[in-house]
Structures are given as structure tokens and as C-alpha cells.
């Protein structure tokens, strides 16, 4: 497939502009999901909802990866495929593991729909750009930067999965109550899972070093950063004994 340069830049800038607009919107009103929305409207069971909304971000890059391509040196191909595999690893976990373990409330149908559209477009954007458009420099500095990016990605993914595991452990099956999370990065921030996910996508962006990867990391920070603040405020109002030294999103800072 030929590189669709114009489509790639338009989608990347749409992520940056859309992320900024979403950030501003979330400073004024709550994200309509989970504890902030009444379960009266049209909703999808949490497990099915998470699966349906996340799996396109795994399937689209996989389809692109399986298409026959122009011959490339094995070094060049590895450089394209490795960042894409990290991206797909995240969405494999989110679609096939997180989805089936979640004990969350039903997800409003519009959120499932918007998220599925977002994951399809972003899965195509990341896959198409890495496989067909990106150009990589051959230098030790590039290798070191790529390695540092992968390391950051793994650290972020570990924090994200561990934090989501702590949250799941706060409920018995069938419960929908909220309790104070303790342990891991929750000792430092209320949005430990969000912090992990932001670190993860920053690592991916550093490893891939492409406009679409940075645009996605930026969008993620704009999209889930405010959720950490909303949860932080919610915990402070809900629990009198909520740990006072805990920050919202960034340990010791914010
Ligand atoms: N890349 C992106 O743009 C993006 C966007 C959205 C989400 N995500 C990721 O997807 C994952 C889930 O996101 P989310 O927004 O649903 O996270 P969340 O609000 O922290 O909720 C995660 C799960 O834990 C439950 N939960 C949260 N706090 C709890 C508490 N104090 N006591 C008991 N249960 C609690 C929630 O139940 P309820 O559903 O019943 O509240 C939900 O099932 C996170 O890892 C996040 O980073 C990524």
C-alpha cells in the first residue's frame, strides 16, 4: 500500500486538535461514564462494551501487517514492526484480558460507539504510518532513543495493568461500590491507572518517533488526565479519611 501522506497528517492533527478540545470540555463537565452517569440510558454490559470498542485497534494494524508489502531490508522491517507490535500488545491485553476481567458498570452505548470509531481510525493511522510511511535514521542515538522508549512503554504498561488489578480487587463479583485504592502507584496518585497509560504511550511515541505516535500520546493525556482529577475530587468528597498527601495524576507534582 502506498503512503497516504495527506490522510496521515490530517488524522494526526485531528487527534491533536480534538484532544485539546476534549481537554477543555472535561474541565467544564464530567466525562459521562462509570460513577458519573446514571445507568438508565442505553448501555452495553462492561465486558462486551470494552471488547467491542478496543478490538478494532488490534485488528486494523494486524490486517495491514498481514498484507504483502514491497521488499525491505530486515533491519528496516524490524524497525517498523517493533513499535507496531508494542501498540498491538496493549490492545491485545485491553481487548482479550482487561475486557473479560472487568467488574465495571455497564458502558453507555454512545461511548462504546465513539471509542470503537476512535480505535479503528487510530489503529489504521498508527499501522499505516509505521508500515508504509515512516523513515528511520541509522544511528546509535536513534537506537538508544528507541530502546529508552520501549523501556518507558513497558514500565507504563506494568503500572497500568497493576493499578487496574488493584481497582478490580476492591469489588467482589456483582458489586458496584467504590472503595479507597491502596498499594502500588495509588500510594502517590488517585489516577494510577491513567498515569501508567500516559507513561506507556509517551514511551511508544519516543520509540516510534513519528507524528501519529506523538499525536496519540498527546490525545491520551488530554483524554484521561482529566479523569484522574475528577476521580481525585470524587474520592475527597466521598471519603473523609482519603489520604491527604495523594496527588491526582503526577506523583508529588499534580
Ligand atoms: N488511551 C485512552 O485514551 C483511554 C481512554 C479510556 C480508558 N483508558 C484505559 O482503560 C482503563 C479503564 O479506564 P476507566 O476510565 O474505566 O478507569 P477507571 O474509571 O479508573 O475504572 C476502572 C475500573 O475500576 C472500577 N473502579 C474505579 N475506581 C474504583 C474504586 N475506587 N473502587 C472500586 N472500583 C473502582 C471501575 O468501575 P466503574 O466502571 O463501575 O466505575 C472500572 O471498572 C484504564 O487503564 C485507562 O487507562 C484509556
Which grid coordinates are listed for 54? 478496543
| Cβ count near 86 (within 10 Å) | 20
Ligand 1 mean position, distance from CA 83 (Å): 25
CB-side neighbour CA atoms (13 Å) of 239:
15
Residues in the chain: 254
What distance, in Å, lies between the first and last C-alpha atoms of the chain?
44
Task: Give the span between the Cα atoms of 171 and 167, in whole angstroms.
Answer: 8
- Cα angle for residues 113, 117, 121 (degrees, 5° grid): 170
Pocket of ligand 1 (CB under 6 A): 34-35, 102-105, 160, 164, 167, 170-171, 176, 178-179, 181, 193-194, 197, 220, 223-224, 227
Between the CA of 150 and the centroid of ligand 1 the distance, in Å, is: 24
The mean per-residue pLDDT over the stretch 94-120 comes to: 96
Give the position, in ligand 1's atom list, of the atom nearest the Cα of 220. Answer: 3
Quote the ligand 1 centre to 9 CA distance (angstroms). Answer: 30
Neighbours of 39 (CB within 10 A): 10
What is the pLDDT, as a whole number, of residue 135?
87
**Ligand 1, from 119, 126, 194: best to mutate by most atoms within 8 Å of Cβ?**
194
Q: Whose CA is nearest to atom 6 of ligand 1?
A: 224
The Å distance, Cα 231 to ligand 1 centre, comes to: 10
Q: Note whether 121 and 57 are within 8 A (CB).
A: no
How far is Cα 237 from Cα 61, in angstroms, rounded to an integer? 42
- Decide if 108 contacts 42 (C-beta within 8 A): yes
- What is the number of other CB atoms lying within 10 angstroms of the CB of residue 66? 8
Mean pLDDT of the residues in the chain = 94
Express each pLDDT in 138-194 by its tens digit.
888 888 999 999 999 999 999 999 999 999 999 998 899 999 999 999 999 999 999
Ligand 1: atom nearest CA of 178 is 32
- Structural domain spans, the chain: 8-238
Burial profile 171-190: b = 16 or more Cβ within 10 angstroms, e = fewer: eeeeeeebeebeebbbebbb
Picking from 37-51, 102-116, 170-184, which range would have the lowest pLDDT averaged per residue? 37-51
E strand intervals along the chain = 43-44, 107-108
If one residue of 45, 123, 193 were mutated to test the ligand 1 pocket, choosing by the most ligand atoms within 8 A of its CB, it would be: 193
Among 19, 31, 32, 34, name the best residue to mutate to test ligand 1's pocket (greatest count of ligand atoms within 8 A of Cβ).
Answer: 34
| pLDDT, tens only, 65-106 | 998 777 677 778 888 899 999 999 999 999 999 999 999 999
The Cα-based distances of 211 to 20, 88, 133, 136, 225 in angstroms read 16, 18, 11, 13, 21
Q: Give the pLDDT of residue 39.
A: 66
Residue 157: closest CA among 195, 130, 213: 195
**Ligand 1: residue whose CA is nearest its atom 43:** 104
Whose Cα sits closest to atom 7 in ligand 1?
224
pTM of the model: 0.95
Amino acid at each position: 500500500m502506498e503512503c497516504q501522506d495527506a490522510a496521515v497528517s490530517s488524522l494526526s492533527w485531528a487527534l491533536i486538535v480534538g484532544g485539546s478540545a476534549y481537554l477543555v470540555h472535561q474541565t467544564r463537565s464530567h466525562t459521562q461514564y462509570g460513577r458519573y452517569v446514571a445507568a438508565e440510558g442505553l448501555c452495553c454490559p462492561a465486558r462486551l462494551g470494552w471488547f467491542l470498542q478496543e478490538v478494532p485497534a488490534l485488528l486494523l494494524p494486524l490486517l495491514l501487517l498481514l498484507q504483502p508489502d514491497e521488499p525491505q531490508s530486515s533491519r528496516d522491517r524490524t524497525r517498523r514492526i517493533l513499535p507496531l507490535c508494542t501498540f498491538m500488545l496493549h490492545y491485545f491485553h485491553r481487548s482479550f484480558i482487561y475486557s473479560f476481567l472487568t467488574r465495571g458498570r455497564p458502558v453507555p452505548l454512545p461511548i462504546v460507539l465513539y471509542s470503537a470509531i476512535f480505535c479503528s481510525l487510530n489503529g489504521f493511522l498508527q499501522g499505516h504510518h509505521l508500515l508504509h510511511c515512516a523513515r528511520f535514521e541509522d544511528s546509535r542515538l536513534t537506537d538508544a532513543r528507541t530502546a529508552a522508549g520501549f523501556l518507558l512503554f513497558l514500565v507504563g504498561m506494568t503500572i497500568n495493568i497493576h493499578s487496574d488489578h488493584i481497582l478490580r480487587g476492591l469489588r467482589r463479583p456483582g458489586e458496584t461500590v467504590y472503595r479507597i485504592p491502596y498499594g502500588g502507584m495509588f500510594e502517590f496518585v488517585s489516577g494510577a491507572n491513567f498515569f501508567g497509560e500516559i507513561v506507556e504511550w509517551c514511551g511508544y511515541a519516543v520509540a516510534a518517533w513519528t507524528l501519529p505516535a506523538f499525536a496519540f500520546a498527546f490525545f491520551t493525556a488530554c483524554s484521561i488526565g482529566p479523569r484522574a482529577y475528577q476521580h481525585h475530587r470524587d474520592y475527597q468528597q466521598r471519603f473523609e479519611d482519603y489520604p491527604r498527601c495523594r496527588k491526582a495524576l503526577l506523583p508529588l507534582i499534580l
